């Protein structure tokens, strides 16, 4: 599972809307939607914050399997 699917799964498990996730991570509106649709991915520094927030390892977020 790539980043887009894993992030969506984690976000939905937490009950966050895409807009709420944008706010949590200090992103411009629509950034999470772009991630989840595979149009872009977060910068490496932000991956650490995302992993910490969801309680997973960075490798779990980026693994393609």
Burial 16-55 (b: 16+ CB within 10 A, else e): bebeebbeeeebeeebbeebbeeeebbeeeebeebbeebe
Its sign, for the CA torsion 20, 46, 62, 51, is negative
Please write the tens of the pLDDT for every residue from 1-55. Answer: 689 999 999 999 999 999 999 999 999 999 999 999 999 999 999 999 999 999 9
Q: How many domains does the chain have?
A: 1
By the 8 A CB rule, do 62 and 47 touch?
A: yes
For residue 23, what is the domain's CATH number? Answer: 1.10.260.40
By the 8 A CB rule, do 43 and 33 touch?
A: no
pTM of the full structure: 0.91
In whole angstroms, give the CA distance from residue 54 to residue 39: 22
Q: Which domain holds residue 20?
A: 3-62
């Amino acid at each position: 599972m790539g980043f887009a699917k894993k992030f969506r799964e984690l976000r939905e498990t937490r009950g966050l809307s895409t807009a709420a996730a944008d706010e949590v991570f200090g992103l411009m509106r629509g950034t999470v939607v772009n991630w989840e649709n595979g149009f872009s991915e977060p910068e490496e520094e932000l991956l650490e914050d995302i992993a910490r927030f969801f309680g997973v390892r960075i490798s779990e977020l980026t693994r393609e399997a």
